[in-house]
Amino acid sequence: MIHSIARVLQFIAVAGCFSSSIYYVICLWSARAFRRERKTIGGARSTQTLPPVSILKPLKGTDPDIYESFRSHCLQDYPEYEIIFGVSDPNDPAVASVRQLQEEFPDHAIRLIISPNKLGANVKVSNLEQMLPSTRFQHLIVNDSDIRVERDYLRRIIAPLADEHVGMVTCLYRGVAASTLGSRLESLGISTDFCPGVLVARQLEGGVHFGLGSTLAIRKDELERIGGFRSIVDYLADDYELGRRIAGLGLQVVLSDVVVETHLPAYDLRGFLAHQLRWARGVRDSRVGGYIGLVSTYGLMWGLLGLIAADGARWSWLAFGATALLRLVMALAVGSVVLEDRRLLRNLWLLPVRDLIAVGVWVASFVGHTVKWRGDRFELKKGRLIRL
């Protein structure tokens, strides 16, 4: 009986190693295709028009290096744009950074909007809906408060919207970790797990059909066609939902060649796990089929299962070694080459730890529907938040 169970586990482990290896190869193919297409974009930008842009940044609380992130948006090589910040509480600690920014850049169009009404469970989207009437321009960019950008960010993000068939532009990002273990694990996951998954979805699905909170560039006309921000005010994954609805109009969602930075909080291990669980349950509700399929990509877990089930037989070491090597190559190809994450190598030794934690989070995500976000607790039902 025990022998039969061991044989079954060996078969499952081999199948898992094989499926994971195939996935890693697809990641490499997707990364190569993305880099190849990057090279053709520069020439298209040389003749672009530069429409005026409204940048919307909803705020709640402070983030690491938040002022420098704000400041990077004031250093753009772009002729005309405005920056609109929004808070739901006039005493929010982020307000001080906005005031400081206005003092340093008095010639820039920088405004702070107080959004007193809670239009739904997602306070960020509630703020956006109340900030929108203050915008002066047709082209909008929404990005998270902790995003730091380069001087050519606006030029490169806006360029694809010159095509009337493009309805949204979004972009990849890399995480700048604090010194804590949780923060380093978070950064490693962004570069070696999340972003590879985005590239694979783009390649296999014939384009991106969702948005990323790092950047959402849209036109007001398309935003109104999907019902405005108010139509997604109860969704946890508002960026995903916004992109999905734009794609539903028959318009393209373009993944820009831009890579921005997010400066991560100094998560302790508990904070890291809570953030991962919230993200996992959000993805589970948004893309349930793909999320369930993630189990076939956990190569290190399947390799270890093979070693245990085969009692360290030579073939199990070979399977584990080949799978681990492909995992490492994929992580370096996407993290170091595509994202240009200069801090990846110093955290790479944590990759096995991070991958095994991801398996535990994946399992835990199916055991419950509660998430914590910015100090509040919600129940998640079909992607929608219900405040507890």
Q: Indicate the helix (H) or strand (E) that contains 54.
A: strand 53-58
pLDDT at 44: 52
What six digits make up the tokens of 301? 């877990």
When mean pLDDT is compared across 151-160, 171-180, 250-259, 376-385, the lowest value belongs to 376-385
Contacts of 193 (CB under 8 A, 6+ apart): 354, 355, 358
**Helix, strand, or coil (residue 114):** strand
Q: What does each C-alpha distance from 357 to 195, 308, 328 come to in angstroms? A: 18, 19, 17
Say what percent of the chain tops pLDDT 70: 97
pLDDT value at 294 more than 90: yes
**Would you place residue 101 in the very low, low, confident or very high pLDDT band (cuts 50, 70, 90)?**
very high
* Tokens 């948005």 -> residue: 211
**270 confidence band (pLDDT: 50, 70, 90):** very high
**What does the alpha-carbon distance between residue 259 and residue 21 come to, in Å, rounded to a whole number?**
26
Residues 264 and 176 sit within 8 Å (Cβ to Cβ): yes
Cross-sheet strand order for the sheet of 370-373: 370-373, 376-381, 384-387
pTM, entire model: 0.93
Residue 42 has pLDDT above 70, yes or no: no
pLDDT, mean over the chain? 93
Whether the per-residue pLDDT at 302 is higher than 80: the answer is yes
Q: How many CB atoms lie within 10 A of CB 104?
A: 13
Residue 60 identity: K
Residues 341 and 174 sit within 8 Å (Cβ to Cβ): yes
Average pLDDT on 50-63 reads 93
3-state SS, residue 384: strand
Answer whether residue 325 shows pLDDT above 70. Answer: yes
- Asked if pLDDT for residue 47 goes beyond 70, the answer is no
Give residue 326's pLDDT.
98
pLDDT 10s digits, 338-386: 999 999 999 999 999 999 999 999 999 999 888 887 777 888 888 888 8
pLDDT one-digit tens code per residue, 13-24: 999 999 999 999
Report how far residue 56's alpha carbon sits from residue 111's, in angstroms, rounded to the nearest whole number.
Answer: 10
Inform me whether the pLDDT recorded for 40 exceeds 70. no
pLDDT tens digits, one per residue of 123-169? 999 999 999 999 999 999 999 999 999 999 999 999 999 999 999 99
Q: How many CB atoms lie within 10 A of CB 179?
A: 7
